[in-house]
Structure 1
Amino acid sequence: MKLKVLTLLFALTVSVCNAQETRPGPQLPPETGESFKVGIAGFTFAKFDLDKALETLKAVDVHYLCIKDFHLPMTSSDEEIDAFHAKLKANDVVGYAVGPIYMKTEEEIDRAFDYAKRVGVKLIVGVPNVELLPYVDKKVKEYDFKFAIHLHGPDIKIFPDAEDVWNHTKDLDPRIGMCLDVGHDTRNGKDAVADLEKYHTRVFDMHIKDVTAPTKLGYSLEVGRGVIDFPSLVKMIRKVDYTGVCALEHERNMDNPFMGIAESVGYFRGVIEATK
C-alpha cells in the first residue's frame, strides 16, 4: 500500500512539473536507462484516428506504438506506408511492431508477413489458428521475423495464457513466442510475474493493463487500481532482462480513454522510479 501511494505521488509530481515547466531542459522519463521501453498498443485507439493517437502519445511522452491495421491498413500502398512513417517520425514515434493480427488461413499468414515486411518491422503480434503453427514456423524461418502470439485469457478458446502459448511453441523455432498480456494472463488464473520469469525467453512483447479479479469476470481498468502486483512485475522485467516494449493496452472507457491512459502511464512510470 505504501509503495502504491508513493508511486501515485510520483506520477502526480511528474504531471505538475511538466505542466509548470519548472525545469530548464526536457525531463527524461523514468524508463530512461532501462533495458525495456514503455509504449502503447494501437488497439487502445480503436475508436480514434492516427492523429489523435499521436497527439496522446506526445501528451504522455511515449514514443513507441504497436501498429494496428485500422491506422495502417494491410492493403496500404508503399507510398501510404511511407507517409505513415513520416507522420510518426514527425511526432518522434517509432512503430515497432504490427498487430495483433488474426490468421485463420495460410493466405492470411502470407499477407501478414508481407505486410510486416513492407511496413519495415521485424515483430508480428499475431493470433493464428493452432493448426497453422507449423506454417508460421516456416514463415518465421523464411523472413527472420519474431512472431509473438497474443494470449487472450478465458475470452477465446485458443491461447488463453502464457503456459498454453509456451506449450504450443516450445518445440518450434525460437523466434516464435508470445505477447505476454499481463491482464489476460491474470484473468485466466495465472500469475503474470511468475509466468514472465518462467517463459521469458519467448516473451517478445508485453501488453500492460490491470484487472479487477483473476477470473473471467475480471475486467480491465486503470493500471494500479486492480489486483496485479506491478512493483513485482517491474522487478521481474529487470531480473529477466526483458528488452522489448511494455505497451499499455488500455481497454476501459474506450470512447474517452485519455485520462485513463495518462493515469496508467503515470502509475507504471511511478513504479519504475520507485523500484530502482
Structure 2
Amino acid sequence: MKLTALTFMLAVTVMVCNAQETRPGPQPAPETGEQFKVGIAGFTFVKFDLDKTLETMKALDVHYLCIKDFHLPMASTDAEITAFHEKLKAHEVKGYAVGPIYMKTEAEVDRAFEYAKRVGVKLIVGVPNVELLPYVDKKVKEYDFKFAIHLHGPDIKLFPDAEDVWNHTKDLDPRIGMCLDIGHDTRNGKDPVADLEKYHTRVFDMHIKDVTAPTKLGYSLEVGRGIIDFPAMVRMIRKVGYTGVCSLEHERNQNNPFMGIAESIGYFRGVIETTKE
C-alpha cells in the first residue's frame, strides 16, 4: 500500500517533532542502524562535475557514491585516483563501486576489472555482451570481485529485467549477479518487490527510482510520485537481509536535477523511518 501524501507528511512531522524533543544536535539519517545504506548512482550527476556532486551529497547527508567514469576516467593515473579519493574523504563520501561500464570485448572486460582494482573497489556494475559472460566468470574468480549486471528494462534487448539477468547468471560464479534497477524492472512489466525476494542472493546493488507505468512508455520521475510501492520495497529489503547500497539514480530534469534529488532522497528516507517496527 502506497503512502498517501497526507499520511506521509503527518508521519514525517511527528518524526521531526519527536526528534526535536528527544535528540539534541544533528538528526541521524533514518537509515542509521539499518543493514542497507542509502547512496547515489553517479549517473545522476551526468551533467555536473565531481565538486557539484559532492557538494550536493554533503547537503543531503548521503555518504555512498557509485563512481562513473566521467568523474574518474578509466585512464586516470594513480595520482589522480588518490586525489579523487582524498576529495571524497573530505566530503565524508565513500566510492563503493564503479559503473555501469559497458563491455563488448574481452579487452574491455580486462580494462574494467583492472580499473576497479586501481580504484580500490570490489564491486563492478557492468553491462557485458552475453557472449562475454564466461569470460566475466573467469575474471571474477581471478580478482575475487562481485559483478552486478545492470538491467535496462525494455529500452534495449540486453538484460531487460531481473529474471533475465538471473537466467543468464544462475549457473555462473555466485559473485556474478545484478544491480536491481527497480524502475527499469517495473517498466519491463515486472514486480521489483517480488523480484528482490526471488533473486536476492544475486542482488549486489540497487538503483532506486520511480516510474509512471509498467511499460516502455513509463518514464522516470521523483521517488514517491510514481507506481512503485516503496513501503513494500523497504520492508522486502529488510526481509531478505540486503546489506548493499540503495543508490538513487535520478534521471529527470538532468540539467537541473537538484530539487528532484532532494525530494527523492527525502521520500525514500521517510519511508525507511515510517516502516520501522
TM-score of the superposition, structure 2-length normalised?
Answer: 0.95
- How many residue pairs match? The answer is 274
Deviation of the 1:25 alpha carbon: 1.6
Deviation of the 1:59 alpha carbon: 1.1
1:72, 1:97 → 2: CA distance? 12
Change (3 A) 1:211 1:80: same
Change (3 A) 1:141 1:69: same
2:11, 2:107 → 1: CA distance? 48
Name the residue aligned to 1:134.
134
Q: Secondary structure at the match of 2:3?
A: helix
Name the residue aligned to 1:227.
227
Q: Secondary structure at the match of 2:101?
A: strand
1:15, 1:47 → 2: CA distance? 33
Are the equivalent residues in 1 in contact too, given 2:37–2:244 (CA < 8 A)? yes
CA displacement 1:18-65 (0-9 Å, x = unmatched): 9x9x96422101100000000000000000000000011011110000
Change (3 A) 1:15 1:265: farther
Are the equivalent residues in 1 in contact too, given 2:153–2:216 (CA < 8 A)? yes
1:2, 1:78 → 2: CA distance? 47
Deviation of the 1:218 alpha carbon: 0.0
1:9-20 pair list within 5 angstroms: 9-10=10-11
- Partner AA of 2:72 in structure 1: L
1:257, 1:233 → 2: CA distance? 24
CA displacement 1:77-119 (0-9 Å, x = unmatched): 0000000000000000000000000000000000000000000
2:16, 2:103 → 1: CA distance? 41
Are the equivalent residues in 2 in contact too, given 1:11–1:266 (CA < 8 A)? no
1:213, 1:16 → 2: CA distance? 35
Q: Secondary structure at the match of 2:4?
A: helix
CA displacement 1:198-233 (0-9 Å, x = unmatched): 000000000000000000000000000000000000
Identity of aligned residues (%): 84
CA displacement 1:207-265 (0-9 Å, x = unmatched): 00000000000000000000000000000000000000000000000000000000000
Name the residue aligned to 1:255.
255
Change (3 A) 1:63 1:16: farther
Are the equivalent residues in 2 in contact too, given 1:4–1:224 (CA < 8 A)? no
1:2, 1:233 → 2: CA distance? 10
2:119, 2:102 → 1: CA distance? 17
1:38-49 pair list within 5 angstroms: 38-49=38-49
Gaps of 5+ in 2: none
Deviation of the 1:146 alpha carbon: 0.1
Q: Secondary structure at the match of 2:8?
A: helix
Are the equivalent residues in 2 in contact too, given 1:11–1:269 (CA < 8 A)? no
Change (3 A) 1:267 1:175: same
Q: Secondary structure at the match of 1:3?
A: coil
Are the equivalent residues in 2 in contact too, given 1:179–1:206 (CA < 8 A)? yes
1:1-276 pair list within 5 angstroms: 3-5=3-5, 6-10=7-11, 24-276=24-276
- Partner AA of 1:204 in structure 2: F
Deviation of the 1:2 alpha carbon: 7.5
